[in-house]
Structure 1
Amino acid sequence: MGALRADSAEEWAHVISQSLVPLSLANMCASFRGSVEQTVLLPGVSVTDVRTEGHSSVLRTPRLTRAEPRDDYLFSLHLGGAGVGLQDEREAVLLPGAGALFDATRPYRLNFPADSREIVLQIPRRPLRDRVEGIDELSGRTLPAHHPAARVLAAFLRELAGVAQDLAPEQRAELGCTTIDLLATALRATVGGEPSAPRGRQALLQAMRSCVLENLTDPAFTPTVLARRQGISPRYAADLFAESGTSPAAYLRDQRLKAAHRALTDPRQSHRTIAGIAAQSGFTDRTTFTRAFVRRYGTTPSDLRAGGRPG
């Protein structure tokens, strides 16, 4: 899209809403100025360098979420000045190097008391939801600047925002996939602090989920094998998964389908055959894989790959 500049609050409302998601303004400085420079990496995935002069406040109001819905996450990496983000009664303090995730399907507010700069990464919700369990609890929380995973993400986004306009389309697409993976890694590692250690049934269920993720590529890995490795009966394993609304077989199948979906939408894996991706995801039969994929995503693997959508 290139650079756009606004010399008033009214112009800024138009620029920011067209570039990111529809927003309302409040408490704007009379001498406010702002600019955005945006690059689309993949369909629905963009990186935007946002700079403002003067205090400002932008809101994603309940009315806007209903009237102009957007099925996106926006991750804000703060580079200059200070700010505060609020969503779901959580407050993210934004200092240079820190970041926060916001869900455009729900109201949120960003306050900047002085000049500021941030890099905003916009991503459809599904790719992140497939990668980060419990992501609904992560919006409006500070991703601290000191954490190693956050530092890697911040360095990558700074450099990407600076060179994205000069990259070839296929390079942007590859880096778009990398960006999603890096953000997911940082969110899993840092947002919300260290969770308390799970105990009892919760700990066992978490151990089984981890075991599934470690064995997705093994077609011989079944719910029975999963239960045996945890030293419990298949029935007890089924009872534990039922508490979270699923079953061992459904969870295993869903994780394999997610792995296949990520591979099919990754330009770096475009050389791989669909049959090869299915096999690497733990499916031994192409027909079974295709039927399950269509039920899960509403499209065939070949149509998804042809469309080039990120998910």
Structure 2
Amino acid sequence: MNSTAQIGAIEFGAPSTSPFTAMIEAMPLGPVTYARMVGTINRVSRTKQNLRATERDSYQLVINLGADMLEGTYGKQDLRLAPGGAFLDGMEPQDIQGADHNDWVSMSFPKKVLEDRFCRIGAKQGLAIAPDQEPLLLLRRYLKLLDKDAMPSSDMLTSHITETIIDLVGLATGAKGDEADVASLGGVRAARLQTILAAIRDNYSDPAFGVQMLAAQLGMTPRSWV
């Protein structure tokens, strides 16, 4: 199956002292484009010239899956992403650098999709999201299922996956919650259930495995599962 998707105009850099390696893959999921880059690319920049060459109609949630800090600027502010952290990119100029080997995930959404759902989403651009924030933890675990499994086989399944991802992005960025929370928490519950079931599949043969071990592995409490 062949498909194409425009992520946005950016420039990559790599260390001159190491052999260049890069794996870049992208998968469309309804209105969402899920992309991942792993390799020696250690710098991602976007200039005003880049922006003039592309349409500025998307948001991207960028997640640092590498072992090192990512640092730089987004718009006019400094940005530091700890391993596991994330930020919302609204297509502003940026210059972000990492170590000699990095692992990035980017999920791209048409701006209208997020703005129709979350009225505060525009104010969340460029703000670092802590790696231990629960919606982001759930989102990272949910995306691991996409890495392991094939493309969804039906439109209904694709719609369920995208609704869950969008729901978690709204919560992770803080655009959904409190007075801005106008939707149900169904997506979060679904992601949490997927996480629990995956852990059970991986550990069911261990005689010591039980509720307390499961809770410790997931960084959750049994009370939070319901």
Pick the TM interval, shorter chain.
0.5 to 0.7
**In the alignment, is the contact (CA less than 8 A) between 2:124 and 2:175 conserved in 1?**
no
- Stretch of structure 1 that moved more, 181-190 or 138-147: 181-190
Contact 1:85/1:109 (<8 A) preserved: yes
Alignment partners' CA distance in 1, 2:100 and 2:76:
23
Ranges of 4+ aligned residues in structure 1 off by more than 6 Å: none
> For 2:113, which of 127, 133, 138 is the aligned residue?
127
Instruction: Determine helix, strand or coil for the equivalent of 1:142.
Output: coil
Matched residues in 1 for 2:167 and 2:113: separation?
Answer: 9
Q: 1:132 to 1:166 in 2, by over 3 A?
A: closer
Query: In structure 1, what is the equivalent of residue 153 of structure 2?
Result: 168
Contact 1:85 1:94 in 2 (8 A): no
User: Which 5+ residue runs of structure 2 have no aligned equivalent?
Assistant: 184-226
CA contact (8 A) 2:11 2:46 kept: yes
- CA change 1:130–1:158 in 2 (3 A) is same
Partner of 1:35: 23
Which residue in 2 is equivalent to 1:157? 143
1:92 aligned partner? 79
Report the AA paired with residue 79 of structure 2: A
Higher relative contact order (CA 8 A, sep 6+): 2
Counterpart residue identity of residue 153, structure 2: A
Q: TM-score, normalised by structure 2?
A: 0.68
C-alpha change, 1:91 and 1:158, in structure 2 (3 Å) is farther
Structure 1: segments with no counterpart, 5+ residues: 4-17, 191-205, 215-258, 260-311
Could you tell me which of 56, 68, 91 is aligned with 1:70? Answer: 56
- Alpha-carbon spacing, 1:59–1:116, altered in 2? closer, same or farther (3 Å): same
Q: Secondary structure at the match of 1:80?
A: coil
Which structure: greater helix fraction? 1
Q: Give 1:128 shift.
A: 1.5
Structure 1 pair 39–25 and aligned structure 2 pair: CA distance change class (3 A)? closer
Preserved CA contact (<8 Å) 1:19 1:38: no
Shift in CA distance, 156/2, structure 1 to aligned 2, threshold 3 Å: farther
Which of these two proteins has the greater Rg computed from alpha carbons? 1
2:33 matched to 1:46?
Answer: yes
Return the letter of the residue paired with 1:167.
P
